[in-house]
């Protein structure tokens, strides 16, 4: 900038001599382009500045209305963006220095001023002012930017003293930037390690260089002035000047509440089952490893209980996944209440739960827990208006007896669970090495079953029921056999539980019904003595929504009168789905289909349902018939059941009659019908046809009990 571009200069000076001297210097300089306005007091100058623009001010510090620094301040206030040069006396350099602090651009000492230095000084002050204006704008923009970002930003000088806080830092610390300025960092930023609750910023040690090297622990929390805590993450960087020298530090704190909550959520999700909130298999495996390590150290045992819900797939399929899910949640809640806090219950997926009992001294401990778990599951679950009765089966493996690692222990507990299922459900079994062989066998049965229907490998055998009063064959029970291409004839007990588990029972059951009805119709049409065809129905089939209609359709297709069909159900099937049962049994009864309770006395034995359901026949389980010949006392049960049936006007059939003593006893008790090896074992259709034609000749039924390749 040349002096010629300075158009207006205001001289505030009460001494006319000094003023005249300066006016002459301007004139000498030939600065016709520069207008010098002379005013003698501050009040007047302020009025002038309010109305006019000037490029620079020359200010005497000894005015009549204001002196010294106050004069500088008033001049700055009146024209904050105008370059200011102060005029001082020879002996007053310190006042001049103070004036520079207050924003003066330069100073001149009266008596030493000459034209060139005056002009240089003015030019210098104007340049400095322009620069300052630019800097102010940049800094205002920077502060506005810092105030917009959500992270807390604080600056310190080299001693670690706060020089600046942005808005977010003000909010997070509870300190205003102005209050915080000049205080040590540790006063304003109280940061604790969230885990140890120890201070992270030490008041003694907080220089900028030190600040730039620290890293906050991963669980740091910032304590606001009012005590409120915010989870924070940090980044700290040194501030350097143009020469690369550190002059302070920038401290940036991010509110980590959300990220930390998210991390927590993700970790939780990775370790827990979404449906039940139980630990998942990853956590379980870890806990098993811990239990094994503890077992090694302390020579203790641990048990794994593999729990599977009986017939869960069926509930899911018939009542829908939403009900299935709620049932699993209800079960999970109860299981948790059954074990100690130090034990682990996890869901493996589906309807499988695994319980780890750590520090177990006796196998008996696992038995107690199993019983408690089974009882808890068996209590009715009230879900969406359904009263669901479910049972579970448990397999138990013990460390170190049954395995030394998590995988083997789980696998063996699983195998034992299948065994528990196969031997009647709602029970528990300890693992035995022989079970592994059976597990393999089970697998091969399942694979074979899938092809058995298409390949026509199933056959029905028929066992007669004899009416004790007339001695005639009054009916027959269709009993399923699997003619396996390699293994020979397989008994139903070997494969029906497997078929129930894998859902194949529905198609197998439909085949049995169709075959039995067609056969009965053939015999009827052939003019053989009328006999009722009894068919066994599994609980899974019964609970299937299409059950009744399937029976009606098959009856129609075969042309067999409904009255010639009897359906055998077990007590537990009726108890499990009592609402549904009333409806289905009602429909079947109305059509004239006979309803029989199979294996009576072995299930729930709740007699109230006998009144609720339209039942026609009770089949006394063969275990009670066996007692007749073995032990006279227990035959009282048979007597009682027959009496009960008579009372309820139900017909009674005794199953599994093998001896003449049994037969005599039953006859004496006026049992209606009997079925058993004493008369005939189940036989293929052509043989049964002979029996129907000729009638039963008991003495001839010398049995060969080794009919099956796999005995019951």
By CB under 5 A, is residue 599 in contact with Mg ion? yes
* Residue selected from 658, 666, 672, 691 as contacting ligand C2E according to rule CB under 6 A: 658
CB of 662 to ligand C2E, least distance (A): 9
> Among 676, 685, 688, 691, which residue sits at the site for ligand C2E (rule: CB under 6 A)?
676
Instruction: Spell out, one character per residue from 605 to 624, where the chain touches ligand C2E: x when CB under 6 A holds, - when not.
Output: -----------------x--
The window from 236-244, 356-364, 490-498, 692-700 that contacts ligand C2E (CB under 6 A) reads 490-498
Q: Does 599 bind ligand C2E (CB under 6 A)?
A: yes
Beta carbon nearer to ligand C2E, 115 or 627: 627
Tokens at 3, concatenated:
């002096």
**Nearest residue to 15 via CA among 34, 35, 39:** 39
In residues, how long is the chain? 712
Q: What minimum distance in Å lies between the beta carbon of 708 and Mg ion? A: 17
Any residues with CB less than 8 A from the CB of 220 and at least 6 apart, and which? 191, 192, 193, 194, 200, 231, 232, 233, 234
Choose between 541 and 598: whose C-beta lies nearer to Mg ion.
598
Q: How far is the CB of 570 from Mg ion (least distance, A)?
A: 8
CA distance 312 to 540: 10
* From 544, 682, 688, 691, residue interacting with ligand C2E (rule: CB under 6 A): 682
479 binding ligand C2E? (CB under 6 A):
yes
Q: Applying CB under 5 A, which of residues 414, 515, 568, 672 lies at the interface with Mg ion? A: 568
Cα atoms in the 13 Å half-sphere on the side-chain side of 270: 6
**Cβ distance 225 to 174 under 8 Å?**
yes
Q: Tell me whether residue 201 or residue 479 sits nearer to ligand C2E (CB atom).
A: 479
Give the contacts of 308 (CB within 8 A, at least 6 positions apart): 351, 352, 353, 392, 393, 394, 417, 421
The answer to the question of residue 493 lying near ligand C2E (CB under 6 A) is yes
Phi and psi based region of residue 507 (left: phi greater than 0; alpha: psi -120 to 50; beta: remaining):
alpha
Nearer to ligand C2E, 501 or 599 (CB): 599
The rounded distance, in Å, linking the Cα atoms of 346 and 360 is 18
480 binds ligand C2E (CB under 6 A): yes
Q: Which 528-547 residues touch Mg ion, going by CB under 5 A?
A: 536
Nearer to Mg ion, 304 or 641 (CB): 641
Which entry of Mg ion, ligand C2E, none binds 662, CB below 5 to 8 A by partner kind? none
Q: Tell me the C-alpha distance between 320 and 343, whole Å.
A: 32
Q: Which is nearer to ligand C2E, 330 or 536 (CB)?
A: 536
Which among 129, 51, 134, 42 has a CA at the least distance from the CA of 83?
A: 129
- Quote the least distance from Cβ 676 to ligand C2E, whole Å: 3
Q: Does 567 bind ligand C2E (CB under 6 A)?
A: no
Rounded distance between C-alpha atoms, residue 461 and residue 478, angstroms:
6
Q: Which of 706, 694, 596 is nearest to 645 (CA)?
A: 596
DSSP summary character for residue 183: S
d(CA 73, CA 61): 11
Assign 3-class secondary structure to 643-691.
HHHHHCCCEEEECCCCCHHHHHHHHHCCCCEECCCCCCCCEEHHHHHHH
Q: How far apart are CA 479 and CA 458, in angstroms?
A: 10
User: Binds 474, which of Mg ion, ligand C2E, none (CB < 5 to 8 A, cut-off by type)?
Assistant: none
Per-residue binding string, ligand C2E, 494-533, x by CB under 6 A, is --x------------x--x---------------------
Backbone angles phi, psi at 253, to 5 degrees: -115, 130
Does residue 598 interact with Mg ion by CB under 5 A? Answer: yes
Q: Cα separation of 539 and 595, whole Å?
A: 14
Kindly state whether residue 536 participates in binding ligand C2E, applying the rule CB under 6 A.
yes
- Report which secondary-structure segment, H or E, holds 198: none
Query: What gap in Å lies between CA 104 and CA 92, rounded to an integer?
Result: 15
* Closest to ligand C2E by CB, 429 or 463: 463
Residue ranges of alpha helices (H) inside 485-546 are: 492-501, 505-525, 539-543
Closest CA to 342 of 366, 362, 363, 359: 359
Binding mask 642-681 for Mg ion (x = CB under 5 A): -------------x--------------------------
Q: Is 344 in the site for ligand C2E (CB under 6 A)?
A: no
**Least Cβ distance, residue 677 to Mg ion (angstroms):** 13
Q: How far apart are CA 495 and CA 515, in angstroms?
A: 19
Shortest distance, CB of residue 277 to ligand C2E, whole angstroms? 37
- Smallest distance, ligand C2E to C-beta of residue 507, A: 12
Write down the least CB distance from residue 679 to ligand C2E, Å. 9
Q: How many residues bind Mg ion (CB under 5 A)?
A: 5
Q: Does 85 bind ligand C2E (CB under 6 A)?
A: no
Does 463 participate in binding ligand C2E (rule CB under 6 A)?
yes
Question: Is residue 631 a contact point for ligand C2E (CB under 6 A)?
Answer: no
Give the Cα separation of 377 and 392 in Å (integer).
7
For residue 243, give the DSSP letter: T
The residues that touch ligand C2E, with contacts defined as CB under 6 A, are 463, 479-480, 491-493, 496, 509, 512, 536-538, 568, 598-599, 622, 655-658, 676-677, 682, 712
The residues that touch Mg ion, with contacts defined as CB under 5 A, are 536, 568, 598-599, 655
């Amino acid at each position: 900038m040349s002096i010629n571009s300075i158009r207006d200069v205001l001289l505030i000076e009460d001494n006319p001599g000094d003023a005249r001297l300066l006016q002459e210097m301007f004139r000498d300089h030939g600065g016709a382009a520069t207008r010098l306005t002379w005013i003698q007091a501050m009040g007047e100058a302020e009025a002038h500045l309010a109305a006019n623009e000037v490029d620079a001010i020359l200010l005497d510090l000894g005015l009549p209305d204001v002196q010294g620094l106050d004069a500088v301040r008033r001049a700055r206030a009146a024209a904050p963006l105008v370059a200011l040069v102060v005029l001082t006396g020879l002996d007053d350099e310190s006042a001049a220095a103070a004036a520079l602090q207050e924003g003066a651009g330069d100073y001149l000492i009266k008596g030493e001023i000459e034209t060139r230095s005056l002009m240089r000084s003015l030019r210098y002050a104007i340049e400095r002012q322009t620069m300052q204006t630019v800097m102010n704008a940049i800094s205002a923009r920077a502060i506005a930017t810092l105030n917009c970002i959500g992270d807390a930003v604080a600056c310190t000088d080299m001693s670690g003293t706060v020089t600046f806080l942005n808005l977010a830092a003000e909010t997070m610390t509870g300190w205003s930037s102005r209050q915080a300025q000049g205080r040590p960092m540790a006063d304003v930023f109280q940061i604790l390690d969230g885990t140890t609750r120890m201070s992270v910023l030490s008041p003694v040690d907080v220089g900028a260089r030190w600040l730039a090297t620290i890293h906050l622990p991963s669980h740091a929390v910032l304590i606001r002035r009012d005590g409120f805590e915010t989870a924070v993450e940090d980044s700290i960087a040194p501030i350097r000047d143009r020469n690369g020298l550190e002059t302070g530090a920038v401290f940036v704190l991010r509110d980590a509440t959300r990220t930390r909550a998210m991390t927590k959520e993700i970790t939780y999700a990775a370790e827990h089952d979404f449906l039940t909130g139980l630990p998942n298999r990853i956590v379980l495996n870890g806990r098993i490893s811990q239990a094994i390590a503890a077992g090694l150290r302390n020579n203790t045992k641990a048990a794994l209980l593999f729990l599977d819900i009986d017939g869960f797939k069926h509930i899911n399929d018939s009542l829908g996944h939403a009900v299935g899910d709620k049932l699993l949640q209800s079960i999970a809640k109860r299981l948790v209440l059954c074990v100690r806090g130090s034990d682990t219950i996890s869901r493996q997926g589906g309807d499988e739960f695994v319980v780890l009992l750590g520090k177990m001294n006796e196998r008996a401990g696992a038995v107690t827990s199993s019983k408690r778990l089974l009882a808890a599951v068996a209590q009715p679950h009230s879900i969406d208006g359904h009263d669901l009765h479910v049972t579970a089966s448990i397999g138990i493996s013990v460390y170190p007896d049954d395995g030394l690692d998590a995988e083997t222990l789980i696998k063996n507990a699983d195998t034992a669970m299948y065994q528990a299922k196969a031997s009647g459900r709602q029970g528990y079994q300890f693992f035995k090495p022989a079970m592994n062989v059976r597990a393999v066998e089970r697998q091969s049965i399942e694979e074979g079953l899938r092809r058995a229907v298409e390949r026509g490998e199933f056959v029905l055998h028929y066992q007669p029921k004899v009416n004790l009063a007339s001695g005639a064959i009054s009916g027959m029970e269709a009993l399923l056999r699997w003619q396996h291409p390699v293994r020979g004839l397989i008994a139903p007990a070997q494969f029906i539980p497997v078929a129930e588990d894998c859902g194949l029972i529905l198609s197998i059951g439909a085949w049995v019904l169709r075959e039995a009805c067609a056969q009965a119709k053939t015999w009827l049409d052939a003019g053989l003595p009328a006999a009722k065809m009894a068919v066994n129905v599994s609980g899974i089939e019964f609970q299937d929504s299409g059950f009744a209609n399937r029976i009606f359709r098959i009856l129609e297709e075969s042309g067999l009168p409904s009255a010639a069909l009897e359906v055998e159900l077990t007590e537990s099937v009726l108890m499990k789905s009592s609402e549904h049962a009333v409806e289905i049994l009602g429909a079947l009864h109305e059509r004239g289909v006979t309803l029989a309770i199979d294996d009576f006395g072995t299930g729930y034995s709740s007699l109230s349902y006998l009144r609720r359901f339209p039942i026609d026949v009770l089949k006394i389980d063969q275990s009670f018939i066996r007692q007749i010949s073995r032990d006279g006392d227990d035959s009282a049960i048979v007597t009682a059941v027959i009496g009960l049936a008579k009372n309820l006007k139900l017909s009674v059939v005794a199953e599994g009659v093998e001896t003449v003593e049994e037969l005599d006893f039953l006859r004496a008790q006026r049992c209606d019908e009997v079925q058993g090896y004493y008369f005939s074992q189940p036989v293929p259709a052509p043989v049964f046809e002979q029996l129907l034609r000729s009638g039963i000749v008991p003495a001839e039924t010398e049995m060969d009990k080794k009919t099956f390749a796999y005995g019951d």
